[in-house]
Chains A and B, each alone.
Chain A
Amino acid sequence: MDIKRTIKYEADRVPGFGREVMAVPGCEALEHCIQCGTCSGVCPLSIYMDYTPRQVMELVRSDFKNEVLQSHTIWLCASCYACTTECPRQIRITDIMYELKQRAIKEKVYPKRFPIPVLAEEFTKMVHDYGRISETWLVSKMYLRTNPVAAMGMAGLGMNLMKTGRFSLKQDKIERRSELARIMESVDQQNQKAQA
């Protein structure tokens, strides 16, 4: 039997993390959480999570940054907004999950071969570069980065889809991409400024 130390010391906390998250517009109501568990009760995916949404809320409030950002709860959240609708304290739990996802991606602490953050990353990259996504490339890239073996297994399906014209290797693009590039440039600058 593998016995692990579960105690948390003050040194395990990242003081200020909770306040930082609660300062983000839309996440303020977290301070009113009464830990009733309605969010986990209505969450269709809570049965697979390592921390239930309620526990994530408490971990954020108690500044346990590393535990939260490394948990796969935030990546299992399917943004169905059931928790946000039902929360008796009107905490926008889904929005807090998004905030945590963004932080996890920025700090690169998400599980390496986990498809959801990879998909999110590839999605934004594709929109950033081409202004439009093409599902073929998005799914292929996600598979190659997370589970190449499974991608090989999908080859047969891909061939069939290609025959019926459902699977095109052409990258979808928008017109006047130079204008999009200018917009994105200023977005990137803003992001860099915010990070610095």
Chain B
Amino acid sequence: MHPQLRLQGAQVPRRLQRGARQAQARLHPLPQATPQVVVIDPEVCLNFKRGKNPDGSPVVSDKCKKTCVEACGEKNAIDFTQKDELKEIKVGTIIVCTGFKTFDAGRVPAYGYGTYKNVYTALEIERLVNASGPTGGEVILREGKNPDGSPKTPKSIGIIHCVGSRDKKTNIWCSRVCCMYSMKLAHLLKEHTDAELYNFYIDMRTPGKGYEEFYNKLLEEGTHFIRGRVGEVTDWAMTPEEEGKLVIRVEDTLAGVVRRIPVDMVVLATGLEPQADAGDVRRLFNMSCGGDGWFLERHPKLAPVNTFTDGVFLAGCCQGPKDIPDTVAQAGAAAAEATVLIDRGYVEQEPNTAFILDQECSGCKSCIPLCPYTAILFDEERKKAYINEALCKGCGTCVGACPSSSIVQNLFEDSEIFSEIEGVLSYD
């Protein structure tokens, strides 16, 4: 096998692997990354642990045997002198698709994530059932061994929906994708382990082509669907059958009874949240955010990929939780919108932009922070402000604010407004 390919799979960053061993210097930045190439992890590679040169580049040490270079042979693909680069690229339009962050399951203490080792998040299970994952696709428990010392496979699994979704204490929105991915995991886990599977849901949300059919398929497979939000996950056994297991306490709201269900493995279907630095990105592109932190589209129905800033478009989960087909559709629309601008090669303007009377501007800069579209710039040489007409939306904020009345708005000049008032107030 090719040495590079042998590395793939097991060596993914610790943040994705959660506790699985990882100390290789070369790794794939992501499992199933495209393109499939390995990169050097400077945190681990001995060559990069020797400090830095005065210019910031890493000291390449000769102490490492460089077996990787040897193995690569005449292909000569390993280059220790490569550095991270920051590039400035001039573009005409921008599509913001910065994505989402998964909810931190530790924020719901009642489900014991971080306390009980056999409580997993859905992403961890995703890695566990993956053929290129840390266990090679074998579903084994983090805690508990068989009598012969081999790791245990779960006999019963509970999947808890809506962790960090539809909850005023965490995130109030429905994350939309969890019902479907929970069912996918239930299907895969059933296939891998033949365990008894329980899904605990508040409402099954399966709108979409073929989704309801998939739900039906799971019902046929014998997966249990229990309508009720789980109260708690505990290891406190009350009956002999609960010994050594995790117990899920839940009301089966359709049957109207409270149940205790012992399981070997608990999977938390964590929801979607805006990225932690979404606020910075928003300010950078001068976009708006809803109260929940997702980027705001210009109009929910008529301009779903546009932002309030011309030439900046939205695609994917940075605008709100959505699944892959919806993301692809929205990204296609955003690309088309961007292409329209690029293809035309010019921008159509509203005629009501503002301009600055150069002789009268005192250079006080009071208009600059007021402009919601960052259209006003300052000429340091001449000590005068000037307006970028391509960005100006004609809101008139600067016109009203200018202390020397040196900003004038097209179509709304003082004389025009006064004669308009005169016309409105005159009788005949």
User: Are A and B bound to each other?
Assistant: yes
Give A contacts to B, CB under 8 Å.
34-43, 46-47, 52, 54-55, 86, 88-90
Let me know if A38 and B231 touch, CB within 8 A. Answer: yes
Mark each residue of chain B from 223 to 249: 1 if its CB lies under 8 Å from any CB of chain A, else 0.
000011111100000000000000001
Q: A41-B251, A52-B258, A90-B168 are in contact. List 10 more A-B contacts (CB 8 A).
A: A34-B203, A36-B202, A36-B229, A36-B253, A37-B250, A37-B251, A38-B231, A41-B231, A88-B169, A88-B229
Question: How many angstroms between the C-alpha atoms of A41 and B229 in the bound complex?
Answer: 8
Residues of B within 8 Å of A40, CB to CB, are 228, 231, 251, 253, 258
Let me know if B166 and A42 touch, CB within 8 A. Answer: no
Residues of B within 8 Å of A55, CB to CB, are 256
Residue of A nearest to B227 (CB): A37
Let me know if B232 and A88 touch, CB within 8 A. Answer: no
Let me know if B168 and A88 touch, CB within 8 A. Answer: yes
Total residue contacts A-B, CB cutoff 8 A: 65
Which DSSP category, helix, strand, loop or mixed, fits chain B's interface? loop
| Chain A proximity of B313: nearest CB distance (Å) | 34
Give B contacts to A, CB under 8 Å.
110, 162, 166-169, 202-203, 227-232, 249-253, 256-258
Let me know if B231 and A42 touch, CB within 8 A. Answer: yes
Residues of A within 8 Å of B253, CB to CB, are 35-37, 40, 54
Residues of A within 8 Å of B229, CB to CB, are 36-38, 41, 88
Supply 12 A–B pairs (Cβ within 8 Å), ascending by A. Answer: A35-B253, A36-B166, A37-B231, A38-B231, A40-B258, A41-B229, A41-B230, A43-B258, A47-B258, A54-B253, A88-B167, A88-B169
| Chain B proximity of A169: nearest CB distance (Å) | 42
The list of the 4 closest CB pairs from A to B, nearest first, reads A41-B231, A37-B251, A40-B251, A36-B229
Question: How many angstroms between the C-alpha atoms of A38 and B232 in the bound complex?
Answer: 9
Known contacts A41-B258, A46-B258, A47-B258: A86-B231 contact under CB 8 Å:
yes
Residues of B within 8 Å of A88, CB to CB, are 162, 166-169, 229
Residue of B nearest to A29 (CB): B168
Question: How many angstroms between the C-alpha atoms of A100 and B299 in the bound complex?
Answer: 45
Residues of A within 8 Å of B252, CB to CB, are 37
Question: How many angstroms between the C-alpha atoms of A43 and B250 in the bound complex?
Answer: 10
| Chain B proximity of A56: nearest CB distance (Å) | 12
Question: How many angstroms between the C-alpha atoms of A11 and B110 in the bound complex?
Answer: 41
Question: How many angstroms between the C-alpha atoms of A42 and B233 in the bound complex?
Answer: 10
Residue of B nearest to A83 (CB): B231
Among B228, B231, B256, max chain A CB count under 10 A is at B231
Known contacts A47-B258, A52-B251, A52-B256: A41-B232 contact under CB 8 Å:
yes
Residues of A within 8 Å of B250, CB to CB, are 37, 41
Let me know if A34 and B202 touch, CB within 8 A. Answer: yes
Let me know if B232 and A42 touch, CB within 8 A. Answer: yes
Question: How many angstroms between the C-alpha atoms of A42 and B231 in the bound complex?
Answer: 5
Residues of A within 8 Å of B202, CB to CB, are 34, 36
Question: How many angstroms between the C-alpha atoms of A46 and B110 in the bound complex?
Answer: 18
Which of B203, B228, B256 sits near A41, CB closer than 8 Å?
B228
Residues of A within 8 Å of B203, CB to CB, are 34
Question: How many angstroms between the C-alpha atoms of A40 and B253 in the bound complex?
Answer: 9
| Chain A proximity of B171: nearest CB distance (Å) | 10
Residues of A within 8 Å of B258, CB to CB, are 40-41, 43, 46-47, 52
Let me know if B110 and A36 touch, CB within 8 A. Answer: no
